[in-house]
Amino acid sequence: MIRIVVSILLILLQFSGIKAQPQPETPALDVFYEMQTTRCDIQAGKEEKWQLIRLHLNHQLAGVTCGLTKQQTFSLLVDMLEANQKVNGQQPYQAMMIGHIEDYAWLQRHLTETARRDTGWSMKKAKPAHLSVNAYVSQLLSMPDVIDVFNLAGEKQGYRFSTMDCEKVFISAGGLPYDAFCWLKME
């Protein structure tokens, strides 16, 4: 009986005129830098259409983040921006996508510890008092002590970063933000 119902549904769908919607095209990534750490495969590339540098950190083991320290992040950025200069010249970019901050242990620690101490964050409600969660996390990660790491790394190649924008914020069971998808605006 079930086979008959499934067969009838498949026939009806076939002749109903419903067509699969085409998936939006992902902008091509022109890779200019690749490296490996003990936990991650890292690629950096540019997306011409959006004037964007994108860092892609691929975990080698499921459930294990890259855990980059501040110094590792700085070294990665220096090497990556130097490779970009060699391959692409001094190209203007609008932003650099860094992906999930959980891959950057120092950024994740900065976010959770700052939110824990901040009276503007309610751990009970798991949200800030006066901003959206995305705006709050973006504001915390745009503090000078964070942005300066990126600016020091980009200095030699002439790149400046102004603020970090984040979305898709993850909140822990304890009511603290611990991850978000972020990119840096470039000047």
Q: What is the pLDDT of residues 157-186, one digit of tens each?
A: 999 999 999 999 999 999 999 999 999 999
Total number of domains constituting the chain: 1
Cβ distance 180 to 157 under 8 Å? no
Residue 158 burial (CB count, 10 A): 10
Helix, coil or strand: residue 184: strand
Whether residue 18 lies inside any domain: the answer is no
Residue given tokens 């921006």 in the structure block: 81
Residues whose CB is less than 8 angstroms from the CB of residue 167 and which lie 6 or more positions away in sequence, other chains included: 134, 180, 181, 182
pTM tops 0.75, yes or no: yes
The partner residues of 58 in beta bridges, in order of sequence, read 41
pLDDT at 26: 56
Give the confidence band of 6 by pLDDT, cuts at 50, 70, 90: very low
Enclosing domain of residue 57: 28-186
Whether residue 62 lies inside any domain: the answer is yes
Whether residue 78 lies inside any domain: the answer is yes
